[in-house]
Amino acid sequence: MPRPKYFTPSEVSAHNTIDDLWVSLLGKVCDLTPLMNEYKGDVLLLPIIEYAGKDISHWFDPKTKDILTHVDPLTCCVKYYTPRGRFVHVPPPCPRTDWANDFGRPWWRDTQYEVGLLSAKTRWIRIINTLTSQEQRLEVCSEETLDEILQRYLRYNSHASSYTWKHGGVCLDMSKTLGENGVRDEDEELCRSRMDRDLFTPSVCLHFNDDLTEF
């Protein structure tokens, strides 16, 4: 099975329009643009549109993976708890003949909308090209391997794969994460010490593979 793609909250927040709408929930990242197109003009889309590009995990029960419920004080019945308003695929509070329930799985349980996972912890690193002395700060996911971070960095250097990646003079294993390579995440320690973490961002140095051997 291929590894799931990890996204930072900033990447999710960039998809915040009706024509390009992502949300994150319970660690998953979902592209709900097809849902927007299918139910275009439906007022039940409004709560989702309001949270476009944001995390909506607080709408759900982490144990059941379903929408939170509450006991209605008037009817004493268990109902879905939707304080921002009822949204698509949530049944009405009372039986109605104009509500179609033949949509199959509700969108929050439908894997077709899932595009990846939300990073549990992002971190910043400095990537320094020792050939050109150029430096780039990059927000990455702690779960990503160096190969996956390289893919992020390609927008700044399309030849990044032609370099050897090192930290502290030691070659990094591109199939492992920063943590697995011994590049510590000291954000919590710096926060406790009330130190500016931007001044202590770990660096990864890129050394160009200048191999002129002829075969």
Residue 211 banded pLDDT, cuts 50, 70, 90: low
Q: Which fold has domain 122-208?
A: Ubiquitin-like (UB roll) (3.10.20)
**In the chain, ranges of CATH 3.10.20.90 domains:** 122-208
CATH topology of domain 6-118: Flavocytochrome B2; Chain A, domain 1 (3.10.120)
What kind and span of H or E run contains 38?
helix 33-38
Summarised one tens digit per residue, pLDDT across range 117-172 is 999 999 999 999 999 999 999 999 999 999 999 999 999 999 999 999 999 999 99
Q: Over 90: is that where the pLDDT of 214 sits?
A: no
Residue 190 pLDDT grade (very low, low, confident, very high; cuts 50, 70, 90)? low
pTM of the model: 0.87
Between the two ends of the chain, the Cα-to-Cα distance in Å is 37
Whether the CB-CB separation of 177 and 145 falls below 8 Å is answered with yes
Q: Which of 32-46, 54-68, 126-140, 174-188 has the lowest mean pLDDT?
A: 174-188
The residue among 148, 191, 183 whose CA lies nearest residue 8 is: 148
Closest among 71, 70, 87, 79 to 25, alpha carbons compared: 87
- The pairing of beta strand 28-31 with beta strand 114-118: antiparallel
Q: What value does the mean pLDDT take over residues 204-214? A: 73
Query: Taking all residues of the chain, what is their mean pLDDT, rounded to a whole number?
Result: 91
Domain limits, CATH 3.10.120.10, in the chain: 6-118
How far apart are alpha carbons 88 and 90 in whole angstroms? 6
Instruction: Give dist(CA 130, CA 206) in Å, integer.
Output: 6
Average pLDDT on 106-120 reads 96
- Alpha carbons 10 and 153: distance in angstroms, whole number: 16
Which two tokens mark 200? 């202590």
CA–CA–CA angle 83, 12, 21 (5° rounding): 65
Distance CA 31, CA 161 (A): 30
The pLDDT tens digits for 51-106 are 999 999 999 999 999 999 999 888 888 889 999 999 999 998 877 877 888 888 99
Choose among 122, 194, 136, 128: nearest CA to 164. 128
